[in-house]
A and B are shown apart, each in its own frame.
Chain A
């Protein structure tokens, strides 16, 4: 595992911000602008042919949203977590759906619930929530419940 990280550090010296180890898992914190290049390298040169998951986490106090990729090699079972911290005011990162097709829906889910925009995504639209939903529920400031019903909700007798 450390060989892959060393190679990444050599090829993309400006990309790697931090390498963290916890519970036997390695997390690579990368510069968001270089995240796609690092992931492309992992897929094409290091044999990480499977993207298990894309997730995200909002840290309101630090003003950032993390996008978390989980590439994996099905041949060796190697797995690496690549985390790209984005500013919460303008969370934009390049899509990886052209590297792994599975990223298409996974990125749409992150966009839908966390509001991260993926540049170059073929169809960046809401997937779990309705098209006209406002806000991004998984952000920490989003309330658990509101005062009113959803504005599009009308009781059956009031429907036109």
Chain B
């Protein structure tokens, strides 16, 4: 689907290009300056260092330096049992931890060939889409703040807070939720939570519209974003961009459609696609994705039946997942299962390898797992979307103004916890 509504856009008069044209026309005698932007810079969304070579205010080259937040999560995950590895994924993309957890759980299930229940599948879809909405809302807030639109920041954070309240009710934690479990989810939803999610989700498009009213036709917003940090579809594919950044360049590609996981093919939703691959299109794509996520959640919650079991009931499956805590503490059988699963856990097939990708809010989050014959993965590699999309930054900002670097970094939505792992 297309994201541009021609009525919405102001006619362009080239007012934003005056500076660039001046630089070229006057042919000023300038010399190159190298500037470090970051690692402690509020607009780099974490510890990202950009080494910029500048000609006046024009960027000649940009070199991102990453690794300040490297914690060796892959190495740690290869020494722990697969259940123990789940909390570490929270710390990768810490703005949508729930989709990381569930992604790893889905990858392990693919490796050990395990089927989750219908109810679990529906709950996972709802969780992943809620993570997408809250992540995109946070992106909108911080990007608007970087560009100078402080009001949007407060509107958006008010809305995001509602989602974090829901996550808290669902998981007991606001940020590092660790909610995904191999074979299921950590716990069932409280009675009435599904209705509450539906109520909050239905209010979201209205709140988004308020922010859009402040931005989409705002002259400053348009001039700070349109034709800033552009990347063509060919370059975006070549550089491996994924998620909204790839779609903004006009490539209709979404893991949810291409390799449907968790039954995404049951749901009716569209992929928003941009045209120019600039910051403004990336903004429009994300806004439309929020509305599509709302559509998916509404459809998924219709299928949600609280009376169904969260975990499979057969004896063989019980050796895979950790039983719910309240049953562990009250039933002898479940205590034994808990002990067996925690100490032995699911056995991964030796030498077998899988790649499982989900459409995380930032793009394609991939898990490459190799089985070891024990309950520890022999190899656990995370393909993080932010790491790959940062690589495209030098091409996007080349020849742009230094202020546009801020807008472009923000529009790529990198999370440094995920870049450095």
- A interface residues, Cβ below 8 angstroms from B: 22-23, 25, 27, 49-53, 55-58, 68, 70, 74, 77, 79, 81, 83, 100-102, 104-106, 109, 113, 126-130, 137-138, 142, 144
Contacts and interface: CB of A to CB of B under 8 A. Distances in A.
B148 interface: no
Contacts of B79: 144
B375 to A, nearest CB: 17
Contact of B237 (A50, A57, A81, A142): A50
B217 interface: no
23 contacts: A22-B352, A23-B352, A50-B240, A52-B366, A53-B355, A55-B368, A55-B381, A56-B379, A57-B353, A58-B379, A74-B237, A100-B238, A101-B238, A102-B391, A104-B391, A105-B387, A105-B391, A106-B388, A109-B387, A113-B74, A113-B75, A127-B67, A128-B67
Contact of A128 (B66, B239, B353): B66
Residue among A22, A53, A56, A100 with most chain B CB within 10 A:
A53
A50 B259 CA distance: 15
Interface in B97-115: 110-111, 113
Nearest to A43: B238
Contacts of A83: 353
A129 B75 CA distance: 13
B253 interface: yes
Contacts of A50: 237, 240
B421 interface: yes
Interface in B294-314: none
Judged by DSSP, the binding face of B is mixed
Nearest to A22: B352
B357 interface: yes
A51 B110 CA distance: 22
B265 to A, nearest CB: 13
B379 A57 contact: yes
Contact of A55 (B110, B364, B379): B379
Contacts of B78: 138
B240 A52 contact: yes
Contacts of B368: 53, 55, 68, 70
Contact of B74 (A130, A138, A144): A138
Interface in B123-167: none
Interface in B229-243: 237-240
Nearest to B109: A23
Contacts of B388: 102, 105-106
